[in-house]
A = this chain, B = another copy of it.
Amino acid sequence: MSTACIIVIGNEILSGRTRDENLGWLAVELNKIGVRLLEARVIPDVPDAIIKAVNACRKTYDYIFTTGGIGPTHDDITASCIAQAFGVPYVRNREAEAILRKNYGAQNLNEARLKMADMPEGATLIANPVSAAPGFIIGNVYVLAGVPRIMQAMFDQFKTTLKGGEPMLSATISVFLTEGIIAEKLTKIQSDFPDVEIGSYPFIRSGRLGTSLVSRHTAPARLEQVTASISQLIESFGGEIAAD
């Protein structure tokens, strides 16, 4: 199974001004196609931070997806930093330039917009059906826009080319029992099903404590088996089932 890492580039997330939506969306989509997301980082619009994070992560994971920082303004520095990370020239991509020229027309094209065609040498374009300016791929790094709708449209362009695997399926049972009550028996179930990833997530709803028990595996039949065991555990404590 392929592994992936997301690098969210943007001061606006770290300052708390904007809540990131891209991580959650990409996590769901990667899971659907059987690519396992193993890390996400949020870093500022600072060259050294971008270069270091990209170089650390691209050696560790099969796929790296960056979001943000590829627009026309002074704070859009992702493409030039990726070129530095790969040690290749930062050049005007002729194919990207042609797309921008066609989209904006001679009248509306300016230097700032043309900057969106500047990329690491050797980059392959990712089409942007929303607002034209493309993302790009270099090595195992996929450089995407930060605006969720554009990022999502870009991801759809290449997702069928990613080497995925069987999607990880999950079965969730939520119950108004606290973790401390069920922990010991749950540990027993986890050791009975070592191939299933069982997660226990406490919650508070309307002042009531409860736990969501999430089992993850690629085989539906295996999930049914573990779910049956968890259901028995819950019944043994007379737990009240909660909505997921």
- Measured CB to CB, the residues of A under 8 A from B are 11-20, 23-31, 37-45, 49, 71-76, 104, 108, 110-113, 115-116, 130-131, 146-147, 149-150, 168, 170, 172, 179-184, 186-187, 190, 197-204, 209, 214, 216
Given the known A-B contacts A19-B24, A42-B40, A113-B180, are A73 and B186 also in contact in the complex, defined by CB atoms under 8 Å?
Answer: yes
Chain B residues, CB < 8 A from A73: 179, 182-183, 186-187, 200
Q: Report whether B183 and A15 are in contact in the complex, using a CB–CB cutoff of 8 Å.
A: no
**In the complex, which residues of chain B have a beta carbon less than 8 angstroms from the beta carbon of A29?**
16
Which of these, B15, B168, B204, contacts A15 with CB under 8 Å?
B168
A-B contact pairs, 13 of them (CB 8 A): A15-B170, A19-B24, A71-B179, A71-B202, A72-B179, A74-B187, A75-B190, A110-B180, A110-B181, A112-B180, A113-B180, A131-B209, A147-B203
Per DSSP, chain A at the interface is mixed
The answer to whether B72 touches A180, judged by C-beta atoms less than 8 angstroms apart, is yes
Whether A201 lies near B18 (C-beta < 8 A) is: yes
Closest residue of chain B to A244 (Cβ to Cβ) is B17
Residues of B within 8 A of A201 (CB): 12, 18, 146
List of 5 A-B pairs having minimum Cβ-Cβ separation, nearest first: A112-B183, A16-B27, A16-B28, A73-B200, A113-B180
How far, in angstroms, from A18 to B23 measured CA to CA in the complex? 11
A181 partner residues in chain B, CB cutoff 8 A: 110
**A112 partner residues in chain B, CB cutoff 8 A:** 179-180, 183-184, 187
